[in-house]
Structure 1
């Protein structure tokens, strides 16, 4: 907190998708040793937006660093303003993207942070999924995404 105000922390998420209709799948990683939502399924690539970097640039960088894919054709899904139900934490702004086109075969490049990488049907996600990410995946599945969303308020 600076001068009584929250610091807003930006992050970018990439959901790689394949298939169509009810057979649409998303690539998820099982988090471990990160200190946040370990043992939860999450976007295969995600991380903080660095100083001087756009959310698009961060999404592409994270996809390369975490799963080794390049030329990620990003489609913007939503910007989510997020907090933890009134707890005195930094507020978050998360930029979510999907991609159906990329170069390279996704693989775990940070094995200390990801225990597994799995393609999962959008209508049959594993448990547990990071809650705010699940909200976005449910909206992607149902076709109800909005440019701006909130979580935890």
Structure 2
């Protein structure tokens, strides 16, 4: 058995002092919040974003900002997009999805953190009308069409787990 391989001994230049990781593969992190109630999930109809417009999607989702934890991002997105306050302790991790396009552009290499919440304060409403054309509750057994494909994978897994008394796989991959 061999020990750990260090960059210096593997002939790989170690560039640690400039504060960048340009020599490393990077992914774009995002947080998704699925508000749930009585067998239903709150979804928004995307518009004006340039990505999957006309598709239904998680009611609150967005990129993790520099210096922000994924939990902080989820809470912030719920506040910004829906006007609701969620305590980070009320976020239930569902799954993490590593998705991308094999050989695709760096911007399309993603890691998505999905949470559900059944407790929040305030009434969900569209706060960013330029990005959302509608906001509605849907039963998991009658989701609208179309749904953003990678999010549909998670929504179906949530539905199936509930029916079978199982859990959603902790890590999913899409596009590989």
Distance in 2 between residues matched to 1:5 and 1:56, nearest whole Å: 25
Larger Rg: 2
Show the counterpart of 2:33. Answer: 14
Show the counterpart of 2:59. Answer: 44
CA deviations 1:33-66 (Å, max 9, x no partner) are: 0011100000000000001111111000000000
Q: How many residues align?
A: 148
Show the counterpart of 2:111. Answer: 93
Distance in 1 between residues matched to 2:22 and 2:32, nearest whole Å: 29
Q: Tell me, yes or no, if the aligned pair for 2:27 and 2:106 is still in contact at 8 Å.
A: no
Partner of 2:141: helix, strand, or coil?
Answer: coil
The question of 1:126 aligning with 2:144 is answered yes
Q: Return the match for 1:57 from 49, 59, 72.
A: 72
Query: Normalized per residue, which structure has more strand?
Result: 1
Distance in 2 between residues matched to 1:127 and 1:52, nearest whole Å: 36
Shift of 1:70: 0.3
Distance in 1 between residues matched to 2:25 and 2:49, nearest whole Å: 23
Greater relative contact order (CA < 8 Å, ≥ 6 in sequence): 1
Q: Tell me the TM-score normalised to structure 1 length.
A: 0.91
User: Structure 1: which 5+ runs fail to align?
Assistant: none
